């Protein structure tokens, strides 16, 4: 019998001063059996940094043709394709051909090692942006994970503060490709 996804509920309050975006989102996040808490929380981070009324979680790990998050317009055209982790160059080139914008949030200790051999190949993808989430920040986010979460995300001058009632994680993402 196949393992089922773990369903997590998150109430995410976003105050993004850099984008002048302030909203509350009630999110249901399906955590794939092979997905770590760290990856799930980086997906929530990606949602918070790109929040929009049409932004939605894709099937991600469950379906190779869908991203972790995406934003479509009313016609179904993909405006923003968002990947979490370290996708291969073919996947990113295909995504950059399908979407107006593509953003990657690479995390973990080996993120820069993953990016180094891909940088030259992906230079031609002009609509691709790649961010590195500091390993310590991603690990600290994982400690905030729970089946039911009340989270606050504040973004100001490029700094990110992700908090619960008891704890705050502060970090600054590193741009690998803008």
The span from the CA of 31 to the CA of 27, in Å, is 12
pLDDT of residue 32: 84
pLDDT of residue 62: 58
Is the pLDDT at 1 greater than 60? The verdict is no
Q: 0.85 cut: is pTM over it?
A: yes
Q: What is the mean pLDDT of residues 109-122?
A: 93
Q: What is the pLDDT of residues 167-176, one digit of tens each?
A: 999 999 999 9
Beginning with the edge strand found earlier in the chain, give each strand of the sheet holding 128-133 in spatial order: 55-57, 69-72, 78-84, 99-107, 128-133, 174-177
CATH number for region 6-177? 3.10.640.10
Angular region, 157: left φ>0, alpha ψ -120 to 50, beta rest: left
Q: Which residues pair with 101 in a beta bridge?
A: 80
2: pLDDT confidence band, cut at 50, 70 and 90? low
More confident residue, 100 or 35: 100
Closest CA to 82 of 110, 21, 98: 98
pLDDT of residue 73: 95
CB burial readout 97-124, b (16+ within 10 A) else e: eebebbbbbbbbeebeebbeebeeebee
139: pLDDT confidence band, cut at 50, 70 and 90? very high
Question: Mean pLDDT across the chain, nearest whole number?
Answer: 93
Contact 129, 101 (CB under 8 A): yes
100: pLDDT confidence band, cut at 50, 70 and 90? very high
Domain residue spans in the chain? 6-177
pLDDT of residue 136: 96
Q: What is the pLDDT of residues 18-67, one digit of tens each?
A: 999 999 999 999 888 888 999 999 999 999 999 999 999 987 655 667 89
Contact 105, 133 (CB under 8 A): yes
pLDDT of residue 157: 95
């Amino acid at each position: 019998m196949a393992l089922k996804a773990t369903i997590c509920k998150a109430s995410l309050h976003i105050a993004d001063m850099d984008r002048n975006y302030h909203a509350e989102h009630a999110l249901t996040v399906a955590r794939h059996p092979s997905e770590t808490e760290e990856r799930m929380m980086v997906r929530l981070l990606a949602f918070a940094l790109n929040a929009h009324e049409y932004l939605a979680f894709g099937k991600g790990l469950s379906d190779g043709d869908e991203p972790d998050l995406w934003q479509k317009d009313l016609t179904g055209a993909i405006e923003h394709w968002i990947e979490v982790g370290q996708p291969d160059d073919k996947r990113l080139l295909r995504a950059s051909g399908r979407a107006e914008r593509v953003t990657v949030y690479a995390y973990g200790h080996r993120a820069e090692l993953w990016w180094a051999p891909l940088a030259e190949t992906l230079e031609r993808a002009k609509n691709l942006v790649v961010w590195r989430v500091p390993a310590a920040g991603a690990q600290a986010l994982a400690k905030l994970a729970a089946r039911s979460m009340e989270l606050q995300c504040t973004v100001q001058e490029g700094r990110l503060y992700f908090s619960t009632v008891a704890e705050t994680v502060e970090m600054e993402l590193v741009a690998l490709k803008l």
